[in-house]
Amino acid sequence: MSYHPVEVPFPQPPSDPLQVNLESLNGTTLAVSIHAPFHDRDEAISTYRVDYSTEPFAQEKQRVSLTCDPQPEIQSITTIAADVNEVQYLVLDSSYQGNGEELEVQRVFVRSHRWHIRLVLDGETAYISHDYDANQIKEAIESLSLVDQVSISINNGGSTACAQHDGVNAGAFLSLFCLFLALLLSFRGATTEFIDVSADVIEFANTIDFALEALDTIQQDGVAVSPVSLDNGGFEKIFRIEFLGDGVGGNVEPIHVVSEYLLIMGSSADAFVLSDGESYAARNGLDSVVSTVGNELSGHFPLKLRGHTTDRISFNSSIDLVKARLEELPSVGEVNVQSPSKELAYQWVVTFLSNPGYFPCRLARSHQ
């Protein structure tokens, strides 16, 4: 015969008494009233023990301590800007719409009682004797600074500029001019030598490059000059001038064409420079070029720390200057400054040595 196991309960103490009340009867007596507990566990309760003390109650006090290993604050200050090379364009333009270049042809008729002829071109005079042959006339005219080359032919098979007839020197000759075409460029007050504009575009570009870099305001390899080819054709000559060197970084001054020495010929001929975002629409109505404003890091800034502001700090200041500016503030103390980078950005790493902990340092205001 099997039996289910039976768990025999262990004796349990009575539950807590109910409605315990204390009443002070006098300075030395307390009245205690107690109601029977809810469960007596089938045990008769004959006595209660009351614990008391004559000492006054005191609030508990606990000590809480927070400790840490203090570390010096390290902050990094960086000045940075996008590096963009300045690009300007030199444009030689005219309203000529013919087919290619045409040489100037002038016919000179002479009737003179004098023994020589004076030809004046742009304020310069060539003196030609009446008995000059074609080569001598050519040499005299080519002595003018504006004339590069000239071809001479004497009319009616003559051999000299003038032949005497009835006591009068008379004659005629034909001059085919190839003029010296040139311009001067100026940059930051310095002016180039004359630049021959009659050369082909590759040689012309190289001449511009050489002339600009010969200036004391542009260092060697400071610019790169290249001809611009118009996709849809045109008679303009356009040259792209990019500033590359350290001394000509950022938004540089425009190159100027020296107008009083602009020796170019052609219908409404002109030469000018595009800069600072200026554009030029080609006469073909389709092509255009736009100059680029250069940009580089520059300017200065102050720093603000705990209500105090430094004197301004240049964008490329030395570590000694940054250290001095920070230590001038009354809330800083001693700092250590290192500068790991000086390429397109300038950076200073500042370690606060005297006052470990958090230092909310911020840029007060930047300046160009």
Whether residue 113 has pLDDT greater than 60: no
The pLDDT value given to residue 98: 55
CB 268 within 8 A of CB 95: yes
pTM for the model stands at 0.56
Final residue in a domain of this structure, among 260, 293, 326 = 293
- For residues 94 and 319, what is the distance between their CA atoms, to the nearest angstrom? 56
Residue 218 placed within a domain: yes
Q: pLDDT at position 110, please?
A: 62
Quick one: which of 141, 134, 136, 132 has its CA closest to 104? 141
Domain region containing 270: 86-293
The residues, any chain, with a CB within 8 Å of residue 53's CB and separated by 6 or more, are none
Tell me what the mean pLDDT of segment 155-179 comes to.
54
> For the segment 169-198, what is each residue's pLDDT rounded down to a tens digit?
444 444 444 444 688 999 999 999 989 887
Provide the percentage of residues in the chain whose pLDDT is more than 70. 78
Residues 102 and 148 in one domain: yes
Tell me the DSSP string of 261-294. G-B--STT-EEEEE-TT-EEE-TTSS-EEE-B--
Residue 245 has a pLDDT of 74
At residue 62, the 3 state secondary structure works out as coil
Given pLDDT bands bounded at 50, 70 and 90, which one contains residue 20?
A: confident
Greatest pairwise CA separation for the chain in angstroms: 177
Mean pLDDT of 156-178: 54
Band of residue 209 on the pLDDT scale cut at 50, 70, 90: very high
**Of 355 and 1, more confident:** 355
Question: How far is 137 from 126, CA to CA, in rounded Å?
Answer: 9
CA distance 21 to 36: 13
Tokens found for residue 23: 């009443």
For residues 304-319, average pLDDT: 87
| 331 and 266 within one domain | no
Q: Check residue 280 and give its pLDDT.
A: 95
Q: Same domain, yes or no, for 207 and 313?
A: no
Query: What pLDDT does residue 207 have?
Result: 94
Residue 30 belongs to some domain of the structure? no
Better-predicted residue by pLDDT, 101 or 45: 45
Q: Is the pLDDT of residue 266 over 60?
A: yes
* Confidence category of residue 144, pLDDT binned at 50, 70, 90: confident
> Residue 214 pLDDT more than 90?
yes
* Total count of residues recorded for the chain: 368
Both 280 and 303 in one domain: the answer is no
* CB 337, CB 74: distance < 8 Å: no
Do 287 and 308 lie in one domain? The reply is no
The tokens for 326 are 């920070």
Count structural domains, the chain.
2
CA end-to-end distance (rounded Å), the chain: 106
pLDDT of residue 327: 92
Task: Report which of residues 222 and 43 the model is more confident about.
Answer: 222
How far is Cα 72 from Cα 259, in angstroms, rounded to an integer?
64
The dihedral sign for the CA sequence 275, 277, 281, 286: positive
284 with 145, same domain: the answer is yes
169 or 242: which carries more pLDDT confidence? 242
How far apart CA 289 and CA 270 sit, in angstroms, is 17
Burial 24-52 (b: 16+ CB within 10 A, else e): eeeeeeeeeeeeeeeeeeeeeeeeeeeee
Check: CB of residue 88 under 8 Å from CB of residue 255: yes
**309 shares its domain with 263:** no
In terms of domains, do 132 and 180 share one?
Answer: yes
Whether 153 and 124 map to the same domain: the answer is yes
The H or E element spanning position 210 is helix 201-213
